[in-house]
Amino acid sequence: MPKTRRKFTQCPNCGYTFKDTNNYCPNCGQENHDLNVPVKHLVAEFFEGTMHFDTKAWHTLKYLITKPGLLTEKFNTGQRASYVPPFRLYVFVSLIFFFVLALTTESSVKVAGQEQGEAKAILPGVTINANVADSLEQAADSAALTRLKQLQNTEQLKALSSGLQEDAFMTEFSEKFASFSSHGEESKQKLIKNLSFMMFLLMPFFALVLYLYYRKQDRNYVEHLMFSIHLHTFYFILLSVAMLLGKLFPALNLEAIVLAILVLYLYLALHQVYKQTYLRTLVSLLPIGFVYLLTLAVFFLGTVFVSVLLT
């Protein structure tokens, strides 16, 4: 739908005399469009652009959700004008996902108690003792003194030096972990921010995995990257819906269903884009899925580790 323009005859910014075909000033770049009109015209123009965008977005989401891999195939064959660009779609959906994540999860790093020996909840399913930093520090000092008394030669000195460095690192990390756990909401937001960056790095890495696995098909890396972007965009949509349903209906156990949908979607998308038989696609799914899950686990643990160290 072309934009309805109210054109000037002369550029109000630099004075350039427009031609009938000029939508922008060739001299200064300002848009040739008069905004000095009644509010009702601006409102009508806004809805005109919004409805056009919504139509494109609707077609994009429809194919993304109901036709695994078809949107990627259309993009790779040059059918792009009718759909939202992959990067823009991913950014928009990921912003919604991390917003929903922040709303639906309780503070993932918080103190459960302050009394001596009382446990603290750090991450779901993980607890530490309230005075763990002090205990570790005392244990490290005690161990170091004991070994110091037993020294008899240079080799033991070197071994002790290495051990003390390890003890110092563990003590420092424990202190940072305790500090990370004591700043509940702040730590949660930091972790979510780092997770968004992690997922942004994961997409091109997964595309590289696909590029290496399907190298005999002689496809460009960008084609695999578009597949990875669309795949993770769908994953974000599915997980956002699952988190909202879990928040509204706490009794629902959606983990198995979500996992099944994730695997099925990847399988169908691989079949659609890479044009292998269903059996061959199933065989390909096993190593690709294993490498993906392993990479995701490593990236996640690395993100938590870095988040703690940067505390």
CA-to-CA distance for 311 and 176, rounded, in angstroms?
6
Residue pLDDT, tens place only, 212-246: 999 999 899 999 999 999 999 999 999 899 889 88
CA-to-CA distance for 274 and 281, rounded, in angstroms?
9
Percent of the chain with pLDDT over 70: 62
CA-to-CA distance for 177 and 289, rounded, in angstroms?
32
Q: CB within 8 A of 199, min separation 6: which ones?
A: 94, 232
Please give the model's pTM, rounded to 2 decimal places. 0.62
- Burial of residue 227 (CB within 10 Å: 0-12, 13-18, 19+) is buried
Residue with tokens 């198995």: 256
Residue pLDDT, tens place only, 5-51: 667 778 887 888 878 778 788 888 888 776 665 665 556 655 555 44
Would you state the pLDDT for residue 20?
76
All residue ranges of the chain with pLDDT < 50 are 1-2, 50-51, 107-130, 132-133, 136
CA-to-CA distance for 192 and 185, rounded, in angstroms?
11
Would you state the pLDDT for residue 111?
38
Would you state the pLDDT for residue 175?
62
Residue with tokens 């509940």: 184
Would you state the pLDDT for residue 306?
75
Phi–psi pair at 116, nearest 5 degrees: -55, 125
